[in-house]
Chains A and B, each alone.
Chain A
Amino acid sequence: MGKALTAFEKIWNKHVIKEEEGKPALLYIDQHLVHEVTSPQAFEGLRLNGRKVRRPDLTFATMDHNVPTINRENMKDEISIKQMEALKKNCADFGVKLADMYHPDQGIVHIIGPQLGLTQPGKTIVCGDSHTSTHGAFGAFAFGIGTSEVEHVLATQTIWQDKPKTLNVQVVGELGVGVTAKDLILAIIAKFGVRFGTGYVMEYTGEAIRNLTMEERMTICNMSIEAGARAGLISPDETTVEFLRGREMVPEGEAFEALAEDWLALATDEGAEYDHTVTIYADEIEPQVTWGTNPGMGVPVSASTPTIADAEYPDEVKRALEYMDLEENQPITSIHVDHVFIGSCTNSRLSDLKKASKIVEGKKVKEGIKAIVVPGSFLVKQQAEEIGLDKIFIEAGFEWRNSGCSMCLGMNDDIVPSGGRCASTSNRNFEGRQGNGARTHLVSPEMAAAAAIEGHFVDVRQFVGVPS
């Protein structure tokens, strides 16, 4: 037997076209996902140079960032319309498959890739979007790229990459009841910071990870980029295989079984070495809430905002508290919100909506709170409606929308107003992310749902109706 390898190393080795000492390697890309915001200049570049899309068959496009979640037929934003028209034209001109606003496969790019089965173990996957790390949940090497690189991949189906180092994020023990995958990843980033992953592919390992569903694993890998990582990854196992079985873009029958065998062989070998390992204890983790302006500024719900003087970077903490309009040492449960957003590529899958619905069922959203649910894709919306989740949310006082990125970044009309405060299931709490002057607290779907009912953050584990 050869040297024990990590899953990442196996995938890397299978995709190197050319590698020279001291230079980035030329990697082959198996799947390129495209959306309307980061692609127009790339297609324009191809046109200007008379180049084609080398492998339209390995390219798939959708519209998600700009799309309205209500009144799709009546869009008013001229520039948004122009951007979506541009994608339509580009896809038609270059022969790329597109799930546009009205297509049944439409949704947030990181939701539909896995949903269609385009995302598979062992693939190299890129997209002009940093949350491409989501797809690593399947044991793929998936990472975000800039627009110049989008153009490069369109033209050549390859990318130049420095080989990242490997980081083992070892999760020991089990998550407690009412503690979710979102809490785990927020706790990891709070503990190790927003840049500890820089230059690494982070592989999440341990019992707690193995017990997660694919949707939960996607939540974890999605936020790897918030730790600065090049990519996040979880070794494929039976859970991965079963999730993909029967999906539109995977083969059937024996061909599938053969493929599944290859996938399972990609898992990190016993005894493989990582460049670095960090450890976190799952049973110590509580539901998390961010209080500041980057995803690492988070604490357990039972805690308070930090003391400025005790902070490693007091200026940053002070600035963040000012922007968030919070005091130091302020209990998290005393923070009142006026907006609740359940959605985004982190937490808008069917299981997320199910869990949130359990919390709000039979209750009412606190007066004065605007609460919206934005399913991650058309299909998620449809499946949720089939089991009546829409009714539960609407009866509780939530708005039930069409799929898209929505209030995660507020490129459409779904914006938190200046000075507004939002409990959000998304992934970034940067200044102005959800709207100029808006304040964002990142939480799990359950915690967001509970905040909608109570009007302020509460420990969802003590909340009546906690899912058993």
Chain B
Amino acid sequence: MEPFKEHKGIAAPLNRGNVDTDQIIPKQFLKRIERTGFGEFLFFHWRFDDDGNLRDDFVLNQPKYENATILLAGDNFGCGSSREHAPWALEDYGFKVIIAPDFADIFYNNSLKNGILVIKMNEEQVQQWMKKAEQGLTLDVDLEKQEITDTDGTVVSFDIPAYHKEKLLNGWDDIALTLLEEDAIQAFEEKRA
């Protein structure tokens, strides 16, 4: 995994609560056996109409968000199915950071494992940024300092468990880390056998 240190990018507002992973990536795209290439199917039925044309009324289809890399989302983002295809699609589409008042459990974990920085931020602040993003908002996210700097220079700090932060900063691979515990795992197995 690529280390994540800092990211500056355009923020796109998706102002809906309880966005589930069925919306993020619909089931017909879950049949692939690769990890890549899911970006074009992101929010498929929100982005495209039944004839495959872009829907003008969907926020990510607006030209100003074309190069957005930060997603401002509503509460309980990523609920429902455990499909990791959801963060794969978001990442493949170009999102590096997702900011929401809260995330569903499994989605939060899945995102971190794919190097997406998921930030829990109070609802008021998220709403404020969503408003600003309608006019155009660039955020500078510094993981090391745990700070987000707004276009106008305002700095807001955020929380992230130290353990996740360290892993993201270093781009560590979970399995490699766990294999360092081999002795403990083996001892555990022997004790129970």
Instruction: Give CA–CA (A432, B19) in the complex, Å.
Output: 13
| Interface contact A18-B175, CB-CB below 8 Å | no
- Count A interface residues, CB 8 Å: 61
Are A130 and B106 also in contact (CB < 8 A) when A28-B185, A195-B79 are? yes
Instruction: Give CA–CA (A410, B31) in the complex, Å.
Output: 12
| Interface contact A129-B82, CB-CB below 8 Å | yes
| Interface contact B106-A194, CB-CB below 8 Å | no
| Interface contact B22-A432, CB-CB below 8 Å | yes
Whether A66 is near chain B, meaning CB under 8 Å from some CB there, is yes
Are A432 and B45 also in contact (CB < 8 A) when A18-B184, A128-B82, A144-B106 are? yes
Query: Which of chain A's residues 411-447 have a Cβ closer than 8 Å to chain B?
Result: 411, 418, 428, 430-433, 436-437
| Interface contact B80-A430, CB-CB below 8 Å | yes
- Count B interface residues, CB 8 Å: 47
| Interface contact B31-A37, CB-CB below 8 Å | yes
Whether A280 is near chain B, meaning CB under 8 Å from some CB there, is no
Which of B108-116, B123-131, B146-154 is near enough to bind chain A? B108-116
| Interface contact B84-A38, CB-CB below 8 Å | yes
| Interface contact B81-A146, CB-CB below 8 Å | no
- With a CB–CB cut-off of 8 A, which chain B residues contact A194? 18, 76, 79
- With a CB–CB cut-off of 8 A, which chain B residues contact A38? 82-84
Instruction: Give CA–CA (A436, B35) in the complex, Å.
Output: 24
| Interface contact A83-B33, CB-CB below 8 Å | yes
DSSP class of A's interface residues: helix, strand, loop or mixed?
A: loop
Whether A467 is near chain B, meaning CB under 8 Å from some CB there, is no
Query: Which of chain A's residues 76-133 have a Cβ closer than 8 Å to chain B?
Result: 77, 79-80, 82-83, 86, 128-130
| Interface contact B22-A156, CB-CB below 8 Å | no
23 contacts between A and B (CB under 8 A): A28-B185, A40-B33, A41-B84, A49-B175, A83-B31, A128-B84, A130-B80, A144-B82, A146-B106, A147-B84, A155-B179, A157-B185, A162-B161, A195-B102, A228-B76, A319-B16, A410-B27, A428-B20, A430-B23, A432-B22, A433-B27, A436-B26, A436-B50
Query: Which of chain B's residues 38-96 have a Cβ closer than 8 Å to chain A?
Result: 45, 50, 75-76, 79-84, 87
Instruction: Give CA–CA (A194, B18) in the complex, Å.
Output: 8
Instruction: Give CA–CA (A146, B104) in the complex, Å.
Output: 12
- With a CB–CB cut-off of 8 A, which chain B residues contact A151? 175
Whether B135 is near chain A, meaning CB under 8 Å from some CB there, is no
- With a CB–CB cut-off of 8 A, which chain B residues contact A158? 178, 181, 185
Least CB distance from A178 to B in Å reads: 29
Instruction: Give CA–CA (A222, B90) in the complex, Å.
Output: 28
Query: Which of chain A's residues 152-186 have a Cβ closer than 8 Å to chain B?
Result: 152, 155-158, 160, 162
- With a CB–CB cut-off of 8 A, which chain B residues contact A28? 185, 188-189, 192
Interface string of A38-78 (1 = CB under 8 A from B): 10110010000101000000000000011000000000010
| Interface contact B76-A26, CB-CB below 8 Å | no
| Interface contact B162-A22, CB-CB below 8 Å | yes
Q: 13 new A-B pairs (CB below 8 Å) besides A22-B162, A77-B31, A195-B104?
A: A38-B82, A83-B32, A144-B106, A146-B84, A146-B110, A155-B178, A157-B185, A158-B185, A228-B79, A411-B31, A418-B50, A428-B20, A436-B45
| Interface contact A198-B22, CB-CB below 8 Å | no
The residue of chain B having its C-beta at the shortest distance from the C-beta of A316 within the complex is: B17
Least CB distance from A406 to B in Å reads: 12
| Interface contact B30-A146, CB-CB below 8 Å | no
Whether B144 is near chain A, meaning CB under 8 Å from some CB there, is no
Least CB distance from A409 to B in Å reads: 5
| Interface contact A82-B31, CB-CB below 8 Å | yes
State the A residues within 8 Å of B (CB).
17-18, 22-24, 26, 28, 37-38, 40-41, 44, 49, 51, 65-66, 77, 79-80, 82-83, 86, 128-130, 144-149, 151-152, 155-158, 160, 162, 194-195, 198-199, 225, 228, 230, 294, 313, 316, 319, 409-411, 418, 428, 430-433, 436-437
Choose among A22, A80, A83 the residue that contacts B163 (Cβ–Cβ < 8 A): A22
Instruction: Give CA–CA (A130, B106) in the complex, Å.
Output: 8
Least CB distance from B91 to A in Å reads: 12
Choose among B33, B79, B179 the residue that contacts A41 (Cβ–Cβ < 8 A): B33
| Interface contact B113-A146, CB-CB below 8 Å | yes
Instruction: Give CA–CA (A38, B33) in the complex, Å.
Output: 9
| Interface contact B178-A428, CB-CB below 8 Å | no
Are A199 and B105 also in contact (CB < 8 A) when A409-B27, A430-B80 are? yes
